[in-house]
Amino acid sequence: MRKALVIGSRGQIGIELLEMLQYKLGMDNVWGADIHETSTIPNNAGNYSQLNALDKEAMHQLVVEKGITEVYQLAALLSATGEKNPMYAWKLNMEGLLNILEIAKETKIKLFWPSSIAAFGPTTPLDETPQRTIMEPTSVYGISKQAGERWCEYYFLKYGVDVRSIRYPGLIGYKSAPGGGTTDYAVDIFYAAIEKGSYSCFLQPNTALPMMMMDDAIRATIELIEAPIENIQIRGAYNLAGVSFTPAQLANEIKKHIPTFEISYYDDFRQQLADSWPNSIDDTQAQKDWNWKINFPLETLVKTMLSEIKKRIS
Ligand code: AKB
């Protein structure tokens, strides 16, 4: 019997992953945990425990008490917030991972931990970035993801921990808000387009980045965790390509639905982060090992975001 725990269950990925796991495994078999007080969590969110990812004892107790068999450890500071508080980002991102790796070693649970395109750096080949390549990240978030990938592989090689990971592109969804990332513009733009008809973008028009609709990201996460163990050739993190576009290309696609939409651009520290990340990704290995394939190209992504956000606002 599978019993899942999502740590960081109130975050951008956590909210949607929790919902999908509840649908697949049943409400009783899924547990959410996050830093927020229990009294602030909606009644329909299912089982929930307040948890600090830095509190290893509490994490261990939760895993044992609830009979958890798989953990999704999503609690982290993202790239932009991380740059504002590098020491805390390092502490949370690394200790949060090492705590659960230790628990996985002791309890034999299966573990999912998210890496990111931020694990690459300015010396990485920018186009069709391969699975294995130069990785010299320059943000604290990217360094923590790169180090985290190595720790995941280490725990697999040394202790046999069944840990699996994805280098998520920028994630775009309508059910939950992003927080503190460089790719957040690609969510904010939809709300601004619908509510104001214009958007002021903190990245420059030709900044190409790999992105992915949240539905695809959640499906990828679950397909990876459910893939037969013998298929998993990568114990660092799998590349996922998603769909690559620039702010200007995204704005043009939005204009097909809202012809009066206007975009302008301003200078911001996040440009430097975006410039250090790939334009596009090669995910042949994920296709080969666990049959990965995206469902949401740019046109479908934009159509879905606009219609779902309109429904939510009205
Ligand atoms: C961020 O922008 O920090 C994240 C990421 C690319 O991991 N969305």
pLDDT one-digit tens code per residue, 179-196: 899 999 999 999 999 999
pLDDT one-digit tens code per residue, 109-133: 999 999 999 999 999 999 999 999 9
With 90 as the cut, is the pLDDT of residue 314 above it?
no
Domain boundaries, the chain: 4-170, 173-211+242-313
| Residue having the nearest C-alpha atom to atom 8 of ligand 1 | 170
The per-residue b/e assignment along 160-190, b for 16 or more CB within 10 angstroms, e otherwise, is ebbbbbbbbbbbbbbebebebbbbbbbbebb
With 90 as the cut, is the pLDDT of residue 22 above it?
yes
Which pLDDT does position 140 carry in this prediction?
98
Atom of ligand 1 nearest to the CA of 171: 8
Which pLDDT does position 131 carry in this prediction?
98
What CATH topology corresponds to 4-170? Answer: Rossmann fold (3.40.50)
Atom of ligand 1 nearest to the CA of 209: 6
Q: CB within 6 Å of ligand 1 — which residues?
A: 78-79, 116-118, 141, 168, 170, 181-183
Indicate the residue type of 214: M
| Gap from CA of 264 to ligand 1 centroid (Å) | 22
Segment 30-40 shows an average pLDDT of 97
- Beta-bridge partner residues of 30: 4
Which pLDDT does position 90 carry in this prediction?
98
Which pLDDT does position 100 carry in this prediction?
98
User: What DSSP character marks residue 98?
Assistant: H
Active site residue 141: yes
Phi, psi of 159 (to 5 degrees): -120, 0
Mean pLDDT of the chain: 98
| Residue having the nearest C-alpha atom to atom 1 of ligand 1 | 181
Ligand 1: which of 144, 184, 243 to mutate, most ligand atoms within 8 Å of CB?
184
pTM over 0.75: yes
pLDDT one-digit tens code per residue, 133-155: 999 999 999 999 999 999 999 99
| Gap from CA of 228 to ligand 1 centroid (Å) | 28
Rounded percentage of the chain residues whose pLDDT exceeds 70:
100
Q: What is the DSSP string of 17-84?
A: HHHHHHHHH-GGGEEEEESS-GGGS-GGG-EEEE--TT-HHHHHHHHHHTT--EEEE-----HHHHHH
Instruction: Give the pLDDT band (50/70/90) at residue 45.
Output: very high
Candidate list 48, 72, 141, 155, residue with the active-site label? 141
| Gap from CA of 35 to ligand 1 centroid (Å) | 20
Q: Which CATH number fits domain 173-211+242-313: 3.30.450.20, 3.30.420.40, 3.40.50.300, 3.90.25.10?
A: 3.90.25.10
Atom of ligand 1 nearest to the CA of 180: 3
Atom of ligand 1 nearest to the CA of 145: 7
| Gap from CA of 167 to ligand 1 centroid (Å) | 10
| Residue having the nearest C-alpha atom to atom 4 of ligand 1 | 181
Q: How far apart are CA 222 and CA 276, in angstroms?
A: 29
Segment 20-38 shows an average pLDDT of 98
Nearest residue to 227 via CA among 112, 131, 313: 112
- In 228-313, the DSSP E strands lie at 238-239, 243-245, 262-265
Which pLDDT does position 179 carry in this prediction?
86
Which pLDDT does position 94 carry in this prediction?
98
Which residues, 6+ apart, have CB-to-CB distance to 127 below 8 Å?
278, 279, 280
pLDDT one-digit tens code per residue, 63-77: 999 999 999 999 999
Instruction: Give the pLDDT band (50/70/90) at residue 248.
Output: very high
| Gap from CA of 78 to ligand 1 centroid (Å) | 6
pLDDT one-digit tens code per residue, 208-241: 999 999 999 999 999 999 999 999 999 999 999 9
Which pLDDT does position 261 carry in this prediction?
98
